[in-house]
Amino acid sequence: MKRDKLKYWILPVLALAFIASILLTVFKASTIQSRVEKHQVTLRSLGKLNEELNLLRQDISHIDVMDTEQLQQEFAQPICKRCIPPQLLGKITLFLSNLDVNTSKREVAKFYQLTNELIQQENQKLYEDTLSLKDQWILVGVLSIIACFFALLSSILYVQNLNKNRILNETNIKLNEAHYEMERSVSAKIAFLNMLSHEIRTPLNAVIGLTNIITTEKSTDQQAKNLDLLKFSSESLLSLINDVLDFGKIEAGKLVLEDREFNLKKLLTKIIGSLEPNANAKNLSLQLEYDNTIPNQVITDPTRISQILFNLIMNGIKFTHSGSITLRVERVGPQEEKVPVKFSVMDTGIGIEPSKIGAIFSQFVQATTDTPRLYGGSGLGLGITQKLINLLGGEIEVNSELQKGSTFYFTLNLKCGAEKLQIIKPETKELDGKLKTGRVLLVEDNRINRLIISKYLQGINCEVEFAENGLIALQKIEPDYYDLILMDLQMPELDGYSTAEKIRLKYSEQELPIIAISATSGHMLQRDYRESGINDFLPKPVDHSELINKVLKYL
C-alpha cells in the first residue's frame, strides 16, 4: 500500500525536478549565448582595425582613406569595453586618435601584432563558449525528454488511479447494495424466526404444561406411562425446535449471550435429574462428578450451558446401549477473577470412527448414513453445541474409540460470582379468609396458557386474575391492587410493551413488578423488554420451577 502511494507522488516530483533543471540550464545557456555575441562583436571591431593596420603597414599613405572616427566608435561600444582589457583598450584608443602620416610603420606593425593576439584570444574564447553553449542545449533536450517521460508516466498512473478509484467506488456501491439486501434478508429471516418461534412454542407450551398438570393428578399406571411418553415426545420436539431456531439465529449472527449469576452445581444437578428418566429407560447409569473447589456462584449464560450439556448428554444416551454416561466438571487452573472449568461428557457407547470425527460437527451431518434411521436426530445438535461453546470462548474436542465410547470435553473461563446465597421464603398473608402468597394479574390472550400458568401459581397459594389483552389489564389495575403482573408480550389490541409503559407512568418497578412471558426467546425480541419497564422475562414453554422461583422472588 505504501509503495503504491509512493509511486503516485514521486513521479510528478521527479518531473517537476527535471523541469526546474531545464529552466536552470536554459538560463545558463542564455548567459553563454550573451558572451558569444560579445565575442563576435569584439572580433568584428578587431578585424576591421586589423585590416586597416595591415594596409597601413604596407603603405602609410592609406591613412588618407581610413575612417579613424568610425574605428574609434567601434571600440567605444560597451561590448568592446567589457571584452578588451581597459589598459589595452586605452592604448588602442590613444593610438587611433594620434594616427597620422607621421606615424612610423614600426609603431603600426606593433599594434598590428597586438590586434592579432587579441583576435586569437577572442577566437579561443568564442570557440570554448560555442562548445559550452552546444552542450547546454543538448542537456536541455535530454532533460526535456526525461521530464516528458516522467510527466507522461505520471499521467498514465493518474488515469489508472482514476479508473481504479472509479471501479472501487462502483464496487463499494454494489457491496453496499448487497449488504443492504443482506440486512433486509437477515431482518426478514429474524422476523420469520420470531413468528415461527411464537406460533410453534405457544401450542407446545399447552402440550407440555397440560402433561405436567395431568401427571400430578390421579391416573392408572398405563395412563401415567402414556403421559410420560407424551411428555418425552413433546420435550424432544421442543429440543428440535430450539435447535432449528438457534441454528437460524447463529447463522444470522443475532444470537446474544446473557451473563447471569447462578449456582453451577445446582444447575448441573437439575440437568442430570431431568435426564435421568431417559437414561433409566435404557438401563443406563447417569452420574455427575463435580469438583467442589469450583465456586458455587459463577457468571455466564446458564441457558446456553444447559443447552450444551443437554445436547451432549442426550447424545451419549442415544448412542449408548449399556454402561454409563458421566458428566465430569473440574477446575483446571488457579481461581482469580475467572476460574477455568473443564466440562467432560463420557459415555460407553458405540464410539466414532476417527475419519468421521471432523464431520459430526457439521450441520445436518451424522457419523453414518443409517444413524438417523437407527437413532433419530436431525444432525443439528453437535453443530449448534460447537457454535455455542465458541461463543462462550471455548473449543470442543473429542476422544473416541469404536465400541468403547466417546468423551466430549471443553473448557470455559467462568467469572466468579458472590458466594453468599440468599434463600427467599415467601411471606403469606390472609386474603378472603384463606392463606395466600400474593395476588397476581395474568395478562394472556391464550386460554390454555392461562389455565396452565394459573394451575402452577395455585400450587403456591397465589390468587390469580386474568386479562385477555393490555387494555383490559389497564382497566383492572385502576380499581384493584396486585402484587405482581405476568404479561404476554404478543397480544391483540395492546401488546405487552405498550401496556408496561402505561403502567410505569403510575407504578414504579418496585411497587408493581412485571414479568414478561413470550414464545420468542429473550435475545430475539424485537426490542429490549427492560426499556418498557418490565422487571424480568420468562420464555415459553414456561418451565414450572423457573416460573415459581421468579414469582416468589418478586413476591
In tens, the pLDDT along 162-210 reads 888 889 888 889 888 888 888 787 677 666 766 666 667 667 766 777 7
Quick check: helix, strand or coil at residue 5?
Answer: helix
Give the pLDDT band of residue 294 (cuts 50, 70, 90). very high
Q: What is the pLDDT of residues 329-371, one digit of tens each?
A: 999 988 888 999 999 999 999 888 887 777 777 654 454 444 4
Quick check: helix, strand or coil at residue 77?
Answer: coil
Q: Where are the beta strands (DSSP E) in 122-271?
A: 260-263
- Stretch 14-24: mean pLDDT: 85
Give the pLDDT band of residue 239 (cuts 50, 70, 90). low
| Number of neighbouring beta carbons within 10 Å of residue 188 | 10
**Does residue 542 have a pLDDT over 50?**
yes
Give pLDDT, residue 342.
95
Helix (H) or strand (E) holding 462: strand 462-467
Q: Is the peptide bond before 372 cis (omega within 30 degrees of 0)?
A: no
Whole-model pTM: value is 0.47
| Number of neighbouring beta carbons within 10 Å of residue 106 | 8
Give pLDDT, residue 375.
45
Helix (H) or strand (E) holding 326: strand 324-331
Portion of the chain with pLDDT greater than 70, in percent: 77
d(CA 476, CA 17): 88
Give the pLDDT band of residue 325 (cuts 50, 70, 90). very high
DSSP-based helix, strand, coil % in the chain, nearest 5: 60, 15, 25
Please answer whether residues 471 and 495 qualify as being in contact, where contact means their C-beta atoms are separated by less than 8 angstroms: no
Give pLDDT, residue 431.
40
**Does residue 300 have a pLDDT over 50?**
yes
Average pLDDT over the chain, rounded to an integer: 79
Give pLDDT, residue 382.
82
Q: Report residue 34 as a C-alpha cell.
A: 550573451
Give pLDDT, residue 454.
87
Where is mean pLDDT largest: 226-230, 314-318, 537-541?
Answer: 314-318
